[in-house]
Amino acid sequence: MLLAGTTGAVAAQGVVSPQACIAPSTFVELTGDVAGLSRDAAGKTVAALGSYERISPDGRFVLRSYSGAQLGNVSVMELPAFAGTVVRGYRTPLSNEAFPVQGSWRYLVDMTGEHYRLADVLQQQGKARPLFRGGMTGFYAAAAELPGSRPGEIRIRSFSWPNAGGDDETQGQGALSTRTITVDVQQQRVTADTGTQYLCRDRVRVDGSMYALPMISVDGREYAAMPQMPVQGKATMRVFGFGEDGKGCELRDAFAHASGKTVFGFPGKAGQGGDLAYEYRGQIWWYSRALKQAFNLAPPASRAGERLMASAFPGITRDGRVIYASTLRQCDAAGGNCSDRVGYTIADPYQSASMRSWRQQHAARASSLPQCVTRQDVLREREAFAQMHWLTP
């Protein structure tokens, strides 16, 4: 029905065993033909990478803001299954910092609260029309899908803070707030709305009242945020649980190290919270909830003078890959004559150099971890996601 050009890339990989591990790290270049060209800070011409990417559960699509003149404010980029270049870019009617409803990507949400069906955006691009309006609005919001209480019904829990129009000193921080709407997915209408609810007021004496970098988990049951002026402890990322009533602030984890905006992976089969990933100083880190430890996912340079730099926070797919926008800088041995290529890096955290080193030192604990993400894992998720959204795999 849609996007049939992708199938050739998948089929070309079919000669490899489905049980084989994917590559530890793959750079998928974004070309000017797909994204258009722009000038970087040094005045060099490169493909327009954009910023603020969100990764679909199967790793096939990237919703990105600030997409450049060729694709407009917000675009959807389509990635190949395993290797190659970005397949295609899609225009959207969305405003910068639009966000998906995580978990399913059933809807893409504009900053105005208007919800668009993903398939409509891919098929109709800029002509797609919203289905309904509701939930959190404004800068830096995020959302996740939860089950409803009856068939044909879902809940969408959105999360942010209430001061999106703050001044230069307070923009990007404030009291945490959430809002949950109930949606009839047959009629495409909101049937219930909790209104804005404020979180973590009972932690003011510990964390203070101001947080930044809020992010909701893909299942809508947890969230992460960083207190700006904590009364106790350091200003590092916290992970909280919403609780059964959706209004809780249950501390579940706290980083001992500095980090950027933190995104969630999918929960484990045993019910434990999803692993986390974030960007810090141009590199991507993966945090294992089971091990309570962070691992640097930077790949070893394939040649002298090469460096991979992440541009923003990453995404984690349902099968466990970490995908992020990046710039691959290649220079000569003396560090001169540099050229940049932009695109997206697909990393398997279980095969990262830092994880391999940890496995050697902790063989007994490492036995409980997956060895890698397999090609079969990737294809299974792409097929399931395509079926849900009526797309060609």
Amino acid sitting at position 93: P
3-state DSSP assignment of residue 119: helix
Identify whether the C-beta of residue 85 lies closer than 8 Å to the C-beta of residue 343.
yes
Rounded CA gap, 300 and 295, in Å?
Answer: 14
- The stretch 363-388 carries a mean pLDDT of 95
Amino acid sitting at position 123: Q
> For residue 38, what pLDDT is reported?
80
Cα–Cα nearest to 63, from 97, 114, 25: 97
> For residue 171, what pLDDT is reported?
53
Q: Which strand (E) or helix (H) includes residue 357?
A: helix 353-361
Reported as a pLDDT band with limits 50, 70 and 90, residue 43 is confident
Rounded CA gap, 47 and 342, in Å?
Answer: 7
Six-digit token pair at 181?
Answer: 């709407």
Reported as a pLDDT band with limits 50, 70 and 90, residue 213 is very high
- The stretch 235-239 carries a mean pLDDT of 96
Reported as a pLDDT band with limits 50, 70 and 90, residue 45 is confident
pLDDT in tens, 123-136: 999 999 999 999 98
pTM of the predicted protein model: 0.92
**How many CB atoms neighbour CB 242 within 10 A?**
23
Rounded CA gap, 221 and 23, in Å?
Answer: 32
β-partners of residue 62 are 55, 77
> For residue 172, what pLDDT is reported?
56
pLDDT in tens, 138-173: 878 999 999 999 999 999 999 998 655 545 555 556
Q: Considering the chain, what percentage of its residues have pLDDT values greater than 90?
A: 76
Q: Is the pLDDT of residue 11 over 50?
A: no
pLDDT in tens, 312-352: 999 999 999 999 999 999 898 777 888 899 999 999 999 99
Rounded CA gap, 260 and 262, in Å?
Answer: 6
Q: Is the pLDDT of residue 7 over 50?
A: no
> For residue 169, what pLDDT is reported?
57
Strand 142-147 vs strand 99-102: parallel, antiparallel, or unpaired?
parallel
Least confident of 44-48, 116-120, 132-136, 216-220: 44-48
